[in-house]
Amino acid sequence: MTDKPVPDDRYANLQALGQHSTIPANPEAAILERVSAPAAGQNYVIRFTAPEFTSLCPITGQPDFAHIVLDYIPADWIVESKSLKLFLTAFRNHGAFHEACTMMIAQRIISAINPRWLRIGAYWYPRGGMPIDIFWQTGAPPEGIFLPDQGAAPYRGRG
């Protein structure tokens, strides 16, 4: 016999988690959900890695691929991961330059959860023979936190 978890009213308003979900038509239509930070007031880093991120070139319509690494320190909220996955997947039919996609991701997360600190590393695979990597953060990270390297080496081709 398997015990079912007791429903938690704190999560009753979530639309994606535990539900059948469809991929939003575009990133603007995606809903980023949040839940209370389990250790509010403490500085700890949460990392999301999306190694198979895709979007479209706004000019040619060809697919672009990236390895996205998001690090943030929550304040009162954390991003609910299924809604984040749906948001990121919504870029697969979205035409925008690498820089626009990267900054849109960062700004949407900031708008949804208002973290203490956030950084994004977007390691884009070559387009036209040249990789484009985009990095941004809200400011200096708080002192004393453990902040590992993002783990994505710059593109080296076959070298």
Question: Which residues are catalytic, by number?
Answer: 57, 64
- How far, in Å, are 9, 61, 87, 106 from residue 55 at the CA level? 36, 9, 12, 15
Q: What are phi and psi of 91, to 5 degrees?
A: -75, -15
**Pair of tokens at residue 12:** 């009753």
What is the rounded distance in angstroms from the CA atom of residue 109 to the CA atom of residue 141?
Answer: 17
Q: Dump strand ranges (E) for 74-146.
A: 77-79, 117-127, 130-137
CB 64 within 8 Å of CB 57: yes
